[in-house]
Each structure stands twice: as structure tokens, then as C-alpha cells.
Amino acid sequence: MNSWDSELERQLARHLSARGIIAVREFKVPGSRYIFDFFLPAPPFGVIEIKSALAYHQSGVVSSMIGQALAQFEVIRANLGSDARLYLAVVGKAEFRPSSPDSLPRGIVLCTADNIEAVADLIAADFRVHAIRLPGKPASSLLTETLATDSDDLTATLRQLTLNLDCLFLDEGRSVLESEIGSLQDEIGHQHFTSAALRIGRSLEFIIYSACKSWAVPVSEPVLIGLDKLNVRFRDLKDALLNYSAIEADADKKKEAKRKFVDKTSALQSTLNQIMSDIDEQVAVQPEERKSPINPGALLTDIRNRYARLNEVRDAIDAQRKPLRGLLDLRNDAAHASVEGSSREVTRIELQTMVGLLNEILLHLSKCGTAIELFRKNQEGPRA
């Protein structure tokens, strides 16, 4: 990026902020390779590409800009949503102007003006017209603005998480989200990559759990506790089996190892019976009494079941499964020693991958939030 581009971006961010719109710089669309100059968190989501009118006038390839935008827009709509908007900001004196805004596909907005402030006016005016008014939508916070201007090449990815701050939660859940992301940013800032990797998993669990509370999703607590118990039992059973298979000549040790394996098998069956009983009785467990970790996959299933009638929710939940598995696998690697028994520090690159996966998950969770809030607004009316 040259100094002209950088200065123009700073000016545009400042002008949009003065108009009450936060613009997140250098936004990579989750699930794609495209990076745009700015992202506008709302719903609907918007992205901005800044162009020089002089450069396009001299090259005579104005049409190529539109052609490239069409290709990018397909990716934007596929990953951000069908109502996303792409703003092409063409700044500076030029002999061309769009013949007609109606000639562009719906959602692509060509904003041409002689100076960056006038371009900001055009973008802000269109964005306000199309903004979805969600019930209880809070004002932008200090954390939102801080993340939006963060320039660190790793924590910059956290800027993309700001897209969730305005449409996911009520006040209580939003404070949880801000606390988790703020703490994650601190760990990264201190170069504590392994601690940050572990916190990402914890943050994801509590963010999704808070989303369930905000969206009135009943959480099947016995299922969450049961899944955690099964993980422990299966791990013990696996260790017992590996120990049994490693013994060759000593008959007494082999017999003892087999007895332990049978005991672990019985313990697994007993746990299964207890879990089924707990589910049948729907034992209620308060969050403050929780002794086992939250299972994000089970929570997502609860959200999907609660709002199964909404296509947007079903699609968004299903889209989270793959990045969720990838993120939890990396979290588990960070939490356990290597097979040789020695600990291993998470690298900066690995952490960047984890933050990217978290961003992708929260993007889809944000789509759920928008669909759910609009549904509840239409069905129940505005909330107090």
C-alpha cells in the first residue's frame, strides 16, 4: 500500500466515524481470499474499496473495475449474506460518472466524488438507508473503536470480530463478548500465544452460551455435562486399551491390564446409563454451578432446534461445524503435551489460524443473531 492509499484510508475512516459509522480497515472476508479496504459492521454488512479516479481515467479501464467488483461481490454475498453491500469509492476529479446507478447489480454502489469527504457522505447516506433496525441494538463501545483501529498484524484479525458486537447480544451477553475478546487481545499483546490459544476455546464457549441466553434458547444442561463425562470415560478406556496392547511377555501384568480395561468398560456403561437418566429427568443446572466445560457443538444444536423454522439460522449453524471442529482440534493440541511427553508452545502462525477460525464462526453466529432478532421483532414486537 502506498502513502497516498494509506492517507486516503485514514481520512475516510475519520469522516465515517464523524458520521457515526465505524469502518474496520483491511478486512479479509472469512472463507475467502479477498481483502477489502474497509468493513462496515451492522446488519447488513458492507465492504468498501477505494479507487483513484485519475488512475482509472489514465488507463481507460473503468469497465474492468466493475467487472472485478462483480466477481468479488459473488464471494461477498456467499460469505457475508445476500443483503451485503459493496461500495466502490472513486475519489478525485474524473471525466467519467456512472451513466445510471440502476445499471449496477443491486448491492454494488458506485460512489464517485472529487474529495474523500464527499465520498464518505455518499457511503454514509446509503448505509443508513439500508441499515436493519434491530431491537435493543446498543451504541458502539470503546472496545469496538479500539479494535477497529488496531494495527498489529495478528490482532488486526480481531477487528473482524467487531462485526458481532452490534447485532448478537443484549447488554449482558455483549459485555461477555467484549470481556472475552478484550482478554484475548491482552494475551496476544503480551506474546502469550499458548495462553491465547487456550483462551480462544474458552471465549468461544462462553460467547455461544451467552448468545443462547440472549436468544431465549433453552440449553440442555444434562447433555453438556454428559458429553464431557463421555470424553473422560473414552479417554480412560483408550489409555487402558493401549496399556493392555503394549504388554507382551508378563502374564500377570497382562491379566491386571485386562481387568482394568474391563473396569473402564463397565464405568463407561454406568456413565451412559446415568446420562440417559439425567436427560430423561431434565435435571436443571445453573450456570454458576457448572463444573464441566460448555460444549459449543451442543449449544449450536440447541440454537438450531429452537429456531429450526428459520432457513438463515439452519444454514448459518451448519456452516459453523467445519471451522468449529478445526478450532477445537487446535485448542486441544495447545492444551495437551505432545506424544513424546514434552510441552510445545503455540506459534504465532498457528494462533493466527485459530483467530481466523474464530472469526469465521462468529460471522455465522452473527447471521443467526440477525435472523433471530428480526424474527422476534416481527413476532413479539420491540422488547423493553
Same domain, 310 and 165: yes
DSSP state of 287: G
Residue 137 falls within a domain, yes or no? no
Same domain, 29 and 108: yes
The CATH code of the domain that includes 90 is 3.40.91.80
* Domain of 48, in residue numbers: 3-130
Predicted confidence (pLDDT) per residue in 146-185, tens digit: 666 666 667 666 766 655 555 555 555 566 667 777 788 8
Residue 42 falls within a domain, yes or no? yes
Reduced to 3 states (helix: H, G, I; strand: E, B; else coil), residue 73 is helix
Same domain, 226 and 215: no
Residue 135 falls within a domain, yes or no? no
Residue 26 falls within a domain, yes or no? yes
pTM: 0.68
Count CA atoms within 13 Å of residue 298 on its CB side: 16
Q: Of 281, 307, 322, which marks where a domain is finished?
A: 281
Distances (CA, A) of 50 to 24, 87, 349: 13, 8, 29
Count CA atoms within 13 Å of residue 34 on its CB side: 24
Mean pLDDT over each residue of the chain, to the nearest integer: 76
What is the reported pLDDT for 1?
43
H/E stretch holding 373: helix 348-380
Same domain, 30 and 115: yes
Same domain, 101 and 67: yes
* Bigger pLDDT: 63 vs 242: 242
CA neighbor of 332 nearest in space, from 354, 364, 360: 354
302, 221 in Cβ contact below 8 A? no
2 band by pLDDT with thresholds 50, 70 and 90: very low
Same domain, 215 and 237: no
Same domain, 25 and 108: yes
Same domain, 86 and 115: yes
Q: Of 258, 281, 304, which marks where a domain is finished?
A: 281
Domain count, the chain: 3
Cα(272)–Cα(267) distance, rounded to whole angstroms?
A: 9
Same domain, 244 and 197: no
CA neighbor of 361 nearest in space, from 168, 140, 146: 168
Same domain, 243 and 172: no
Residue 163 falls within a domain, yes or no? yes
212, 299 in Cβ contact below 8 A? yes
Distances (CA, A) of 92 to 99, 111, 115, 116, 123: 17, 11, 6, 8, 16
Residue 136 falls within a domain, yes or no? no
What is the reported pLDDT for 109?
87
Predicted confidence (pLDDT) per residue in 243-279, tens digit: 888 887 788 888 888 888 888 888 888 888 777 776 6
Predicted confidence (pLDDT) per residue in 218-250, tens digit: 776 666 667 667 777 888 888 888 888 888 778
Per the listing, cell 447433555 goes with 223
155, 185 in Cβ contact below 8 A? yes
Written as nine digits, the cell of 91 is: 475519489
Q: Quick one: CA dihedral 149, 152, 153, 157, positive or negative? A: negative
Same domain, 296 and 376: yes
The region of weakest confidence among 121-125, 223-227, 354-358, 375-379 is: 223-227
What is the reported pLDDT for 20?
80
Residue 99 falls within a domain, yes or no? yes
Q: Is the confidence at residue 121, as pLDDT, over 90?
A: yes
Residue 24 falls within a domain, yes or no? yes
The region of weakest confidence among 27-41, 279-293, 335-349, 362-376 is: 279-293
Q: Of 259, 281, 303, which marks where a domain is finished?
A: 281
Same domain, 201 and 327: yes
What is the reported pLDDT for 30?
74
Cα(87)–Cα(110) distance, rounded to whole angstroms?
A: 6
DSSP code per residue over 242-284: HHHHH--S-HHHHHHHHHHHHHHHHHHHHHHHHHHHHHHHT--
Taking residues 179-198, what's their average pLDDT? 83
Query: Which residues is 24 bridged to in the sheet?
Result: 39
Taking residues 346-352, what's their average pLDDT? 87
